[in-house]
Amino acid sequence: MAARGHVQDPNDRRLRPIYDYLDNGNNKMAIQQADKLLKKHKDLHCAKVLKAIGLQRTGKQDEAFTLAQEVTLLEPTDDNSLQALTILYREMHRPELVTKLYEAAVKKVPLSEEYHSHLFMAYARVGEYKKMQQAGMALYKIVPKNPYYFWSVMSLVMQAISAKDEKLAQTMFLPLAERMVEKMVKEEKIEAEAEVQLYFMILERLGKCDEALEVIRGPLGEKLTSELQSRERKCMMLYRRLERWPECNALAQKLLLKNPDDWQFYPSYFDSLFYLMDQPWSPPEEGEHCSEGSVHHTVAEVVRFVEERIKAEDGKDSRSLRGPYLARLELIHRLRERGYPEENLPGEPLDLMVQFFRMFGDKPCCITDLKIYLHLLAPDQHVQFINRLSELVPLGEQGEDGFTFPEDTKSLQRHLCVCQLSRALGLHHSLDVSGKLRLITELKAHYRHGLKFGSTALKTELQFSDMYCLMAAHVYIDLWTETGDEDMVWQGLGLLEEGLSHSSSNAQFKLLLLLLYCRLGAFEPVVDLYSSLDAKHIQHDTIGFLLTRYAESLGQFAAASQSCNFSLRFFHSNQKDTSEYIIQAYKYGAFEKIPEFIALRNRLNQSLHFAQVRTERMLLDLFLEADIVLSLEESVKAMSLSSEEDDIPWDSLRDNRDLTVFTNWDPKERQLTDEHRIRSLEEESMWLQIRSLTLRLLASLTASGHAPSQQNSEISNENGVGDKSSLLRSLLSQLNQTLQTAAQIAEKLVQYPLLGPPSTRLASALSIGSCQCQAAALQLSVHLQELESAGLDESTELQTQICYVFKSLVVQLQEMLNKCKGDLLEMKESKLKTQPFLLENLVFFVETVSVVLWTASYCAKILRPLKSSLQKKKKKKKDANAALPLVVCGFQELTGSLQAILTHAVDHIRGQESGITAQRLASLSLEGTSQEEASFTKAAMDKVQGSYLRSLQEVGDLLKKRAETIKNLKI
């Protein structure tokens, strides 16, 4: 809350201590102080609201809301109460109540500029664009200032953008907005750049490109001064839209003469050339070619233009610009695509790229510049190209290990660029195992030699030679994936840990370590690595998947909860934050940013990652707490989880993952393809559907609740049980269909590149039988509802069917447990081997056991009253020796078997813990590594060992808690 300045109002003086307490987080004292003040001044509304803020912040939401409503009903008009209520309602996430507050205030004080503007902003928070338009005009009538008028115009534009009917937007909202602005233009009242920007936006959305061009090139366009070349860029965009290629070409030419390094205009220049050639276009015999000047409409003219820019750069005394040299390569690329004769190209790509390297090889950007043009080289030129580049790298005398090293950072950068280009051309990948090991030795030697150049660097700065270390780790990964030799991944981890010790801020080291630890099934070291990345804002959506994909599946439930919270906190604050950005955009007239903020909000609300994290977090809470801390019913209620509602926007889900976050020098054929992206999204959506349906089915176990047994189905329909039964059947049918489709997807076995998207848990879940077993358990609830309607007397066939399902569940769980057997970590011939899939299988087993136990608990609720009513009947008939009903015996067998399986599983986990603890990693001999390297590798091994123990401990503890719940299943 903003600190208040010195005001004479005595109420401000009285309220000051409460404000101070709230600002310092001392909410209890704020409440006490407010109570004292209210005893003396009952009508001091603001004190009541400040007390409500204190109550809200101490978790007493209901009391806070009641107090706030008392004050709201009085329709206060004092500034203190209104501002305090605004803060309170925002904290309650109820911005719609703020609008009612200011609507009442504006009625009482109709000429207040302040209250009218607050009302406008309140509407902006909830996206009431029509009311914003009206509020803006009302404000303009009271205080005729331009910004208020244009607030109203922008609100019309927002109505057009948000309108579901595009025709309505084009025929009503936008034309009205255009007329409103034209009125101001005619009256010569346009004052600010923002107003011209808004006029341009309206014309652009109406498709009136000619009129927009007139505005930009006319006197109004002179107001566009906040961005460099704003007018030129807008003109270029409009010329392209209007397909006025002569003007596009001439303007690009003029702009490139001014600044030959401005890359954004080269593509327009080349595009326009080819469009002019295709039309075909010829210049008029007299006068200017077009309104922008002369046009280059032949390849020869464009080549000459680019060559002239290069000559100008070559003749400079100062440092040359890269733009013209890259433009020549881009032109060759485009001419080749069009089948232009090789002999007429402006140079041989190999020579031109060598020349580029000679000039710019000591810049870190050289690799990214040249990498996109490597396809211009013929395969038989690759080795020749690298040899010619190597000749341009000044290296010093030969060292002890036979390698020559650069003597300064510029030479180091050149050498590094050659290594990166070699890898991008596939020369590293074509080496045999011994060749790759030699390459790793060389890269490590260069890395350690280069550390001397950064000996005085700050902790937050990267070392000059970090990329050697990263590349060596990539070669280790190549060897691991090709040979399956796990020693390679351990040495790669050790090298990255060593790199991180010298360069603690290197995000690429952290990301690759994170990936490798997850692939080895060790989640514990990953949490700290991700935290140290200090992911900001939207990165929780773009790279959060690296963490949340593995969190729960590797058995670290506490860390998984924390990981989900990282992401969810960002998504939930996005709604509130975006409203504030929109309000700021209105205040400062940044109208063109408002649709961008709305688009960002939609993009995040429709995020696949958001839907996944939300679903996984709720499932995780159920696995950890339902029937342990709270009952399943209470857990579902606490989450406000509904089986009827599906809140995932399936049709508009967006994949916002950044799948290129890892630095990667692999050749094109080894990189991520569009096909991989499509398959990954399909797989992720399918797994999300399965998890979402499972969650809704678990909610329906409680929602279908437990109505007393009704023989008459009509009565049960009146009680809503029939509806719930049909919902349950519908959800089960959807789940079964989804599982069939999922099985087809899993059969395709798509192999993604290691640095691409991680595979989902889908294939593993189906192969271990987890999904099938959970679906079978949930199917039981339908049979039990039928049994409840039929009663125990006349349902022998149904009871036999239910008993068969009981036995089948036990068999399936036993098979799942068998697939968890094996050593997670073992030493073979003094080499460390891991089997992380066993850990993932164990987590599937725990999840499935939980679902089976919840279904068993549901069975018990239904069977208890049925059994007791049967016993009463028997007492009346004095038939005490009658056998127990079949289903009751079957249920007792089920609970006994579940107890045995869980005991067996807990024993297996104990055995694994003992086995892993007994592994003496210190005795491992790491051949061919120095003592320092060995220490980093062993540290990585220790982290994996510790993580496995932590996972086993958490899984074991959860299984023990689940075993305890079996005692409550007696009927």
Cβ atoms of 293 and 283 within 8 Å: the answer is no
Q: At CB < 8 A and 24+ separation, what contacts does 272-279 make?
A: 272/245, 272/246, 272/248, 273/249, 273/297, 273/298, 273/299, 273/302, 274/334, 274/338, 275/243, 275/245, 276/245, 276/246, 276/249, 279/245
Return the pLDDT at 719.
Answer: 44
Query: Which is more confident, 931 or 106?
Result: 106
Tokens of 641: 């989880």
Return the pLDDT at 875.
Answer: 65
Q: Say whether 470 sits in a helix, a strand or coil.
A: helix
Query: Which amino acid, 646?
Result: D
Cβ atoms of 811 and 920 within 8 Å: the answer is no
Taking only Cα atoms into account, the Rg of the chain, rounded to an integer number of angstroms, comes to 35
Local structure of residue 286 (DSSP, 8 states) = S
Q: With bands split at pLDDT 50, 70 and 90, how would you rate the model's confidence at 575?
A: confident
Exposure string for 805-825, b = 16+ CB within 10 A, e = fewer: bbeebbebbeebbebbeebbb
Q: What is the arithmetic mean of pLDDT over 645-668? A: 93
What is the distance in angstroms between the CA of the first residue and the CA of the last residue of the chain? 58
Lowest mean per-residue pLDDT among 68-72, 272-276, 343-347: 343-347
Q: What is the arithmetic mean of pLDDT over 497-516? A: 96
Reported as a single tens digit per residue, the pLDDT across 31-76 is: 998 998 888 888 888 999 999 999 999 988 889 999 999 999 999 9
Tokens of 930: 């120095």
Asked if residue 447 has pLDDT above 60, the reply is yes
The whole-angstrom separation of Cα 130 and Cα 879 is: 76
Which candidate, 210, 296, 287, 285, places its Cα nearest to that of 250?
Answer: 296
Q: Say whether 291 sits in a helix, a strand or coil.
A: coil
Proportion of the chain in helix, strand, coil states, percent, rounded to 5: 70, 0, 25
Return the pLDDT at 641.
Answer: 85
The whole-angstrom separation of Cα 735 and Cα 729 is: 10
Q: What is the arithmetic mean of pLDDT over 138-165? A: 93
Reported as a single tens digit per residue, the pLDDT across 93-103 is: 888 999 999 99
Q: Say whether 833 sits in a helix, a strand or coil.
A: strand
Return the pLDDT at 925.
Answer: 62
Angle between the N-to-C axes of helices 79-91 and 113-126, in degrees from 0 to 180, rounded to the nearest 10: 10
Residues in the chain: 971
Query: Which is more confident, 546 or 575?
Result: 546
Burial of 614 (0-12, 13-18, 19+ CB in 10 A): buried
Which candidate, 88, 89, 83, 152, places its Cα nearest to that of 124?
Answer: 152
665 bridge partner residues: none
DSSP letters, 67-99, are HHHHHHHT----HHHHHHHHHHHHHTT-THHHH
Q: With bands split at pLDDT 50, 70 and 90, how would you rate the model's confidence at 827?
A: confident
Q: Is the dihedral of CA 811, 816, 817, 819 positive or negative?
A: positive
Reported as a single tens digit per residue, the pLDDT across 797-817 is: 888 899 999 999 999 999 999
Q: How far is CA 239 from the centre of its chain?
A: 37
CB-facing half-sphere around the CA of 727: CA atoms within 13 A: 22
The whole-angstrom separation of Cα 895 and Cα 810 is: 10
Return the pLDDT at 727.
Answer: 87
CA distances from 119 to 18, 19, 148 (A): 26, 24, 13
The whole-angstrom separation of Cα 541 and Cα 659 is: 12
Reported as a single tens digit per residue, the pLDDT across 244-273 is: 999 999 999 999 999 999 999 999 999 999
φ, ψ at 919 (rounded to 5°) = -65, 125
Burial of 454 (0-12, 13-18, 19+ CB in 10 A): middle
Beta strand spans in 91-242 (E): none
Return the pLDDT at 643.
Answer: 86
Return the pLDDT at 919.
Answer: 80
Q: With bands split at pLDDT 50, 70 and 90, how would you rate the model's confidence at 856?
A: very high
Greatest mean pLDDT among 119-128, 785-794, 869-878 lies in 119-128
CA distances from 695 to 146, 155, 452, 900 (A): 53, 40, 56, 27
Asked if residue 291 has pLDDT above 90, the reply is no
Max CA distance (Å), the chain: 119
Q: How far is CA 779 from the centre of its chain?
A: 34
pLDDT above 90 as % of the chain: 66
CA distances from 222 to 123, 217, 225, 292 (A): 33, 8, 7, 17
> Mean pLDDT over all residues of the chain?
89
Return the pLDDT at 566.
Answer: 79
Q: How far is CA 529 from the centre of its chain?
A: 18
Local structure of residue 707 (DSSP, 8 states) = P
The whole-angstrom separation of Cα 639 and Cα 647 is: 13
Query: Which is more confident, 725 or 684?
Result: 684
Return the pLDDT at 683.
Answer: 94
φ, ψ at 607 (rounded to 5°) = -65, 130
398 bridge partner residues: 404
Return the pLDDT at 720.
Answer: 46
Reported as a single tens digit per residue, the pLDDT across 704-758 is: 443 333 333 333 444 444 567 788 899 999 999 999 999 999 888 888 999 999 9
The whole-angstrom separation of Cα 207 and Cα 171 is: 12
Q: What is the arithmetic mean of pLDDT over 858-886? A: 74
pTM to 2 decimal places: 0.90
Reported as a single tens digit per residue, the pLDDT across 292-336 is: 889 999 999 999 999 999 999 888 878 889 999 999 999 999 999
